[in-house]
Structure 1
């Protein structure tokens, strides 16, 4: 390689290094940064996957605990009954189905009348987890994912239990229950847990968002009040009947031998106690109770040999003539609830419909097919109709009595005699009649024009769904109770300030005095005499130049500020 070529290359490298040096770089040349670009929106599948990962543990925790308890109970049953552990998978599957109020089958018979206490505990646990998931914030997509998980997870576990029973049917005398009844009951139980777990505030927000009347939630709460109070009264009646029929109760216990039989029967009776209370509620309302070929009502009793359960000692053997008087029990409870928490007439009628629906669901879960007896439970349609009738008739009677009393009081009240103003010495306006007061501190109540009852305003008007509260892939979010409440808390009062018209010009003391002179001349002369002798008149400013107490500078009070500013 010639030396001239080598020298030329070295010189070019030196020149390039000098040009790229920061000392030789021109000051006006700056490197441009790339403009930030908005990241592409996350796909919907990614958002759904993240919601499933976040909400799935909340659903799996109660079911995991329930599965562990079922396994422990199955092992204990097999050990105490001295049975082979070969039946352990089938026992676990049957206990799981019974926990979810699904029928169990074996030896060619189906048992669908299952104790309600374990199912009620499972409903409470699932509802608690649902409430913890939505109490802070949840979007509409979150609610959709949560609903899907709450319904699908127990349904999948019930399907696994059914397959286990089908597999064990080749060795043991067990079988899978009918699929439609199993699926319907499992979905119904966990749908109840979901509805209760969402809570009244979230339901109000959802109904308001989709344009429905929020008072439907108040009607549902009123229905729960009536059913709860009625259940307590029915429980008292059941206990009284067991005390009256204590001989039958003791005979049932003495018919078994062994030290563990009596405690097992007592525990089983406690587990079936909610079922018997629901039966008592229907019978006291006038609906018949079918026990296979037997019939129990307030009008007639036809008994068949009952299962050896001590709690069934509350079933009467005959219907006395005075038993019809017991129809007053649900009527009294309905009147008491309507008077204790009065609502408007349409709301109470809707509450009566919801009461019938709730009791219908409870009667379906409390009854079913019971082996050789056949169907055991209340007559569903008469029981639901009577549960609607009692609250509806109660509120109609209360409304009618209120209107009759208002009509009697109206002509009896004589108008007061007109008294001249000069005779009283008062020039104030007479007080407004009841209901027309403008006092902002008055109690926030409304008078229902239809029923004449006093209805409290709904103070629970917190906004649960807020536009733009949290930007997510699917849109709006649902804010939980207690954190997004823009209104006052329970127990706080909201001050109402009446708006006043702003005058164009300030009113001076001379004009106000002239107006007062025109109304009462004698009082004006007396006031002028007293003002002439008042040494503080020279120091008082004009009304239009009142000093501002906030900054100490003179201002102009045009009458538009609230009182006491």
Structure 2
């Protein structure tokens, strides 16, 4: 029974290794890597263009419109997908629905992730970055030229090229950064000697803004349901809108959902959302006649007094993103800067001109600054709390160690205390009378000699004593035990009764002479 099982396992293992070898990509040359990375970056953009072309062609055929409009529709749709401004009939719109651009950025990020999830070099990353930015920039230039050419015949005009390219670059650069992933960013930080907390703090900022977006979605949904009756009143003002028109308005409202979430988040941090001359914040609301979109029916005409309590949403988002991470003050500082940058980019992409209304969207600098302010305040409070807890724990541990060490020390011996006190008195007398006659006390002389002699290896003595029978002294040196005992006592006394250099030299000479004359003097004492 075992042999067939082992054979089957070996066959399966061999077949699996062969299949894995067949799936493993062959080493690529530099030109091959460029082609592969270019294909990775170009696929999402090409697919979007093909979808736009197919939908535009179908729409023109169904409506019976001239086919000459097809190029113009494709070019304008590409601009919309990349949040680049569009212009038609002298109406300029850069406040565009962000959902198509979010879908495109997600697809680009997934393609980038598939290209860098295994080993990748810095050169490959640079090539991939050039492809991710170069392909949409090229398509944008082509679309701009198509609109410029169509403007000679139709009532359209190309947008501001610098503004269009800037939006395209920011959108695809954000998709590239998201697709690289946390591991690759940490590896890059390690490669260039940057601290890891830059990546960790940026992740904290992303979590904070994600929780803020979730809270903004919930708040907007509740407000939308409360003001659902306003939508009917708004649609009644446009009685000529047909059923297909209503369906188109609903679809357009769905495409504007990311704009609504980012705008609601900016309002929750304390900033405001403006529509031309109108504005909405947690403190007040001043509205103008809004476009006939169902999503605009969720904008309240006035703000109740309790709306200021919604400031708890950014506070809760910051606390929840920081509590489990136990951040330091450096991480809080980096997370604050990252929150401001990311919030500014998000508000920039979802704001712009809305035809005759003018500037529409969240206030860029105010929203970014207030989002960073909440992160800074809450982050410093959380970091200070964790720092205090760590300091208190260290103090308690230090106090426990001190108490334990004092408990382990033996109780002081009264006799030794008296002896030390006497020694201190003698030392004081010696310091006070340095010019007196040399002391010839045998104990002090012996102590000075023992202190000047070379030290003995304690481990060797312990080894010799262990070899001797218990309770007996070593046979070779019967008299050194007594001398060592006396020497130890003398050493203790020498520590308690220090002498000057001159006095030490004199006592050494006298001791040497006394040892030569009477070797039993130390034993007699």
The TM-score with structure 2 as length reference comes to: 0.68
User: Is the 2:92–2:353 Cα contact (8 Å) retained in structure 1?
Assistant: yes
**What is the 5 A alignment of 1:29-108?**
48-79=30-61, 83-108=65-90
**Residue 268 (structure 1) aligns with:** 252
**What is the 5 A alignment of 1:327-342?**
327-342=311-326
Q: Could you tell me how far apart the structure 1 residues matched to 2:190 and 2:388 are?
A: 36
User: Is the 1:74–1:95 Cα contact (8 Å) retained in structure 2?
Assistant: no
**Residue 193 (structure 1) aligns with:** 175
**What is the 5 A alignment of 1:134-533?**
134-253=116-235, 255=238, 257-402=241-386
- For each residue in 1:29-64, what CA deviation from the matched residue of structure 2 results, as whole angstroms up to 9, or x when unmatched? xxxxxxxxxxxxxxxxx9653332222211221111
1:129 offset after TM fit, Å?
Answer: 1.3
Alignment: residue pair count: 387
1:137 offset after TM fit, Å?
Answer: 2.5
Q: Could you tell me how far apart the structure 2 residues matched to 1:235 and 1:80 are?
A: 37
**Residue 103 (structure 2) aligns with:** 121
User: Is the 2:326–2:383 Cα contact (8 Å) retained in structure 1?
Assistant: no
Q: Could you tell me how far apart the structure 1 residues matched to 2:126 and 2:264 are?
A: 38
User: Is the 1:241–1:313 Cα contact (8 Å) retained in structure 2?
Assistant: no
Q: Could you tell me how far apart the structure 1 residues matched to 2:326 and 2:55 are?
A: 47
- For each residue in 1:93-146, what CA deviation from the matched residue of structure 2 results, as whole angstroms up to 9, or x when unmatched? 100110011111100111101111111111111111112222222222222211
1:367 offset after TM fit, Å?
Answer: 0.3
1:265 offset after TM fit, Å?
Answer: 1.9
Deviates more, 1:165-174 or 1:397-406: 397-406
Q: Could you tell me how far apart the structure 2 residues matched to 1:313 and 1:154 are?
A: 35
1:411 offset after TM fit, Å?
Answer: 8.8
| SS of aligned partner of 2:95 | coil
More helix by share: 2
- For each residue in 1:238-288, what CA deviation from the matched residue of structure 2 results, as whole angstroms up to 9, or x when unmatched? 000111101112334554643322322222111101101101101111112
| SS of aligned partner of 1:85 | coil
| Structure 2, unpaired ranges of 5+ | 1-27, 411-458, 471-525
- For each residue in 1:280-324, what CA deviation from the matched residue of structure 2 results, as whole angstroms up to 9, or x when unmatched? 101111112221111211122111111111111221111222222
| SS of aligned partner of 2:120 | strand
User: Is the 1:242–1:249 Cα contact (8 Å) retained in structure 2?
Assistant: no
| SS of aligned partner of 1:110 | strand
1:73 offset after TM fit, Å?
Answer: 2.3
Q: Could you tell me how far apart the structure 2 residues matched to 1:150 and 1:176 are?
A: 24
The TM-score with structure 1 as length reference comes to: 0.64
- Name the CA shift for 1:170/1:325 in 2 (closer, same or farther; >3 Å): same
1:207 offset after TM fit, Å?
Answer: 1.8
- Name the CA shift for 1:420/1:346 in 2 (closer, same or farther; >3 Å): closer
Q: Could you tell me how far apart the structure 1 residues matched to 2:176 and 2:391 are?
A: 47
1:406 offset after TM fit, Å?
Answer: 6.8
Q: Could you tell me how far apart the structure 1 residues matched to 2:167 and 2:230 are?
A: 33
User: Is the 1:48–1:145 Cα contact (8 Å) retained in structure 2?
Assistant: no
| Structure 1, unpaired ranges of 5+ | 1-45, 423-506, 519-565
**Residue 453 (structure 1) aligns with:** none
- Name the CA shift for 1:399/1:133 in 2 (closer, same or farther; >3 Å): closer
User: Is the 2:326–2:386 Cα contact (8 Å) retained in structure 1?
Assistant: no
- Name the CA shift for 1:213/1:408 in 2 (closer, same or farther; >3 Å): closer
- Name the CA shift for 1:77/1:399 in 2 (closer, same or farther; >3 Å): same
- Name the CA shift for 1:119/1:420 in 2 (closer, same or farther; >3 Å): closer
- Name the CA shift for 1:60/1:207 in 2 (closer, same or farther; >3 Å): same
User: Is the 1:348–1:391 Cα contact (8 Å) retained in structure 2?
Assistant: yes
Q: Could you tell me how far apart the structure 2 residues matched to 1:408 and 1:64 are?
A: 60
Q: Could you tell me how far apart the structure 2 residues matched to 1:288 and 1:93 are?
A: 33
1:83 offset after TM fit, Å?
Answer: 3.4
User: Is the 1:104–1:176 Cα contact (8 Å) retained in structure 2?
Assistant: yes
- Name the CA shift for 1:195/1:80 in 2 (closer, same or farther; >3 Å): same
1:173 offset after TM fit, Å?
Answer: 1.2
1:212 offset after TM fit, Å?
Answer: 1.2
1:412 offset after TM fit, Å?
Answer: 9.3
Q: Could you tell me how far apart the structure 2 residues matched to 1:390 and 1:371 are?
A: 34
Q: Could you tell me how far apart the structure 2 residues matched to 1:54 and 1:409 are?
A: 55
Deviates more, 1:303-312 or 1:81-90: 81-90
**Residue 20 (structure 1) aligns with:** none
User: Is the 2:97–2:255 Cα contact (8 Å) retained in structure 1?
Assistant: yes
- Name the CA shift for 1:411/1:168 in 2 (closer, same or farther; >3 Å): closer
Q: Could you tell me how far apart the structure 2 residues matched to 1:306 and 1:95 are?
A: 24
